Structure 1
Amino acid sequence: MKKKVIYICIGILFFLVITYSIINYGEIVMVVKNFPNTTFRNILEMIDFLITPLLFIVTIMGLKEITVAKEISEVNAKREAFKLSAEQCIYYFENIIPKLDDIDKCFKENKITSIGEVKIKSTSEGIKASVKLDVSRCPEEIFRDITYVLNVIEGFSLYFISGVADERVAFSSVGRTYVNSMEMLLPIICSVQGSGYENVFKLYLLWKDRIDKQEALNQKIKLDKKMQEECFVTTKTIGF
């Protein structure tokens, strides 16, 4: 952070020096021409001759320092995003997954295979979800657990949707687990659409779409490989 401030100050200083020199360039030339001492006037003329390339060099150096400072800042930002992603993944494994396991256990004990149906479609106004919620077989205490864990997951998801943490790093670690868990709770998530769990829903859509594309690509690769293998199969004719 200190280096970044120093580089910015250097850049501002170079800019001020250049601006001042340009503004007072005409006055410097007049002083040189009217100076009575020939030797000293020659020195001033030489300085006047050198000032333009020197200012150019100083400007290039200043711009280079600013560019380096920007690159360092970007690298540090990425490093922090990766670090935060790793921390959030650890938090997900240690704190969120046990809560989701408890909910899943409660569902199995009460023989609940679904709590509703969700249809997601893309419209001109964005992604819309229509929900049919069926919680008639759910015990009341399970809603407290679901509400609690979804609030925690909302905070987790916010880091990645806001861009503070790198979601691609997290996806490789918890992406599929996250999507599978949220699909079971999706009817509740979508039933409050617009008033809560927006980041949970956005991260679910992002990672679900990526998983679907990866699976489609894998299927295509397998199909292409199978077709290539079939091309090498030849039929032997029976000779006489």
Structure 2
Amino acid sequence: MTFFDYEKSVLENLNFASGPILAILGFLIIYQILQAKKQIELTKIQLKEAKNELVINSLRDSIKLSAEQINYYMETIVNYANISNIKFKESNLARVKFETKNFLYNELISNANKIDKDYSKNYNDLVVYDLNTLNSLETFCTYFTNKIADEKIAYLSVGKSFCNIIENLYYPLCVSRKNDNDYYQNIVILYRLWKARLSKSILENKEREVKSELSQKIKDINAQKNKIDNFEESKPLGTEM
């Protein structure tokens, strides 16, 4: 028996053969779809692994950069700040410091009546030392404000010291900044972030202290209450049960 019956027409033979051929084609199509699906799933897994590896490498690089900048802060910036402070003490000139988040020139003008009129003249011989500190700080801050290094790691090591140094540099910062996009904006951005975090941390510590003191006072009061002898209430005659 042959696959084609030569006694039948070509169309009849093709019609007869179309069933098995379509079945084979259907099987091949389904097989290809299943293979494509497996490949897509494999690709997703590979992409996820590649993404995880990229995240891990980025995190590692970020931590490494943070450590390098902390070291730079300790060795270079602190040294500049210390030299500047020594020069201020030698000149007997007290630093100008006001509460601010912006460090703008117009703030300095509004506080002019609170600043010695000869401060600017006396400060001219000291400005170079503060500029050394400011320029090195701007370099330091750029890594964190642009999210190249992890600022949270650096904050734990130098956050409090950083805020203190920036507050000491109030005068040269304000003189340099006419608006918020002016010089040393990376310093100001990082200062705002770390100062807010530092202030919140201080308040949380105070809150814990107050709660601890209150808890102790309550314990003391309860202890005093327990020392008081129990007493029976007096009742009118005839009402005793």
Q: Is the 8 A contact 1:190 1:201 kept in 2?
A: no
Structure 1 position 96, deviation (Å)? 1.2
| Structure 1 unaligned blocks of 5 or more | 1-32, 122-126
- What are the superposed Cα offsets for residues 147-168 of structure 1, whole Å, 9 maximum, x if unpaired? 1221111111111111111110
Q: Is the 8 A contact 2:127 2:172 kept in 1?
A: no
**Partner residue of 1:120 out of 93, 100, 104:** 100
- What are the superposed Cα offsets for residues 160-208 of structure 1, whole Å, 9 maximum, x if unpaired? 1111111101111111111111111122212322321111111111111
Q: Is the 8 A contact 2:138 2:186 kept in 1?
A: yes
- What are the superposed Cα offsets for residues 22-79 of structure 1, whole Å, 9 maximum, x if unpaired? xxxxxxxxxxx99x69988765543223111211111111122112212211221111
C-alpha RMSD of matched pairs (Å): 2.7
More strand by proportion, 1 or 2? 1
Q: Quote the Cα distance in structure 1 between the aligned partners of 2:143 and 2:84.
A: 24
Q: Is the 8 A contact 2:103 2:188 kept in 1?
A: no
**How many residues get paired?**
201
Larger radius of gyration: 2
Q: Quote the Cα distance in structure 1 between the aligned partners of 2:205 and 2:72.
A: 31
Identity across aligned pairs (percent)? Answer: 25
Q: Is the 8 A contact 1:160 1:166 kept in 2?
A: yes
- What are the superposed Cα offsets for residues 71-124 of structure 1, whole Å, 9 maximum, x if unpaired? 21122111111110100110111111111101111111222222x343436xxx
Provide the residue aligned with 2:212 in structure 1.
Answer: 225
AA partner of residue 214 (structure 2): M
Deviates more, 1:80-89 or 1:36-45: 36-45
Q: Quote the Cα distance in structure 2 between the aligned partners of 1:148 and 1:99.
A: 6
Q: Structure 1 length normalisation: TM-score? A: 0.74
Q: Quote the Cα distance in structure 2 between the aligned partners of 1:102 and 1:37.
A: 94
Q: Quote the Cα distance in structure 1 between the aligned partners of 2:123 and 2:198.
A: 33
| Structure 2 unaligned blocks of 5 or more | 1-13, 231-241
**Partner residue of 1:81 out of 42, 59, 62:** 62
Q: Structure 2 length normalisation: TM-score? A: 0.74
